[in-house]
């Protein structure tokens, strides 16, 4: 079956018609502030409405603020405190299995591939 090619106008209409449980993104009356706080995710964020056209950017900013740069100070403080007892850099000498033996069994993935992106943030 051939795929229908839509014009730019048709695409815009289709995008405007996206609904979840009969609700559009615009119905949520969100702006570019962190939900539950008055923290602007962008300069002037309280004056920028979240729409179907920028919802992806909004979600990326909320996630980054929640588990990325928004907790950088706390992670840095933890790293500094941990390093005062055991040098953080020395953890690189251990394998994932050895780290599990040191810190106990958990659902945490200590594999190098899982933790290596976080090392670049510090």
Instruction: Look at residue 54 in the predicted model and tell me its pLDDT.
Output: 92
C-alpha R_g of the chain: 22
Q: Is 41 in contact with 62 (CB distance < 8 Å)?
A: yes
- For residue 70, with 0-12 CB atoms within 10 Å meaning exposed, 13-18 middle and 19 or more buried, which class applies? middle
Residues 50-65 have pLDDT tens digits of 998 899 999 999 999 9
- Give 66-104 pLDDT, tens digit per residue: 888 888 888 889 888 888 888 877 888 888 788 778 777
Q: How far is CA 120 from its chain centroid? A: 16
pLDDT in tens, 28-46: 889 999 998 889 999 999 9
Measured between alpha carbons, how far is 10 from 89 in angstroms, rounded to an integer? 55
Nearest to 49 by CA among 27, 18, 69: 27
The model's confidence at residue 122, banded by pLDDT at 50, 70 and 90, is: very low
pLDDT for residue 118: 47
DSSP secondary structure letter of residue 111 = -
Q: Which two tokens stand for residue 109?
A: 């993935």
Residue 109 pLDDT more than 80?
no
């Amino acid at each position: 079956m051939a795929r229908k090619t839509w014009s730019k106008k048709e695409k815009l209409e289709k995008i405007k018609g996206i609904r979840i449980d009969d609700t559009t993104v615009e119905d949520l009356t969100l702006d570019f502030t962190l939900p539950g706080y008055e923290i602007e995710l962008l300069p002037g964020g309280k004056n920028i409405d979240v729409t179907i056209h920028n919802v992806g950017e909004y979600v990326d900013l909320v996630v980054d603020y929640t588990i990325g740069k928004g907790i950088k100070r706390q992670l840095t403080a933890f790293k500094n405190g941990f390093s005062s007892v055991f040098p953080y850099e020395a953890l690189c000498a251990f394998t994932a299995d050895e780290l599990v033996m040191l810190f106990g069994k958990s659902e945490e993935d200590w594999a190098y591939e899982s933790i290596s992106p976080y090392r670049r943030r510090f």
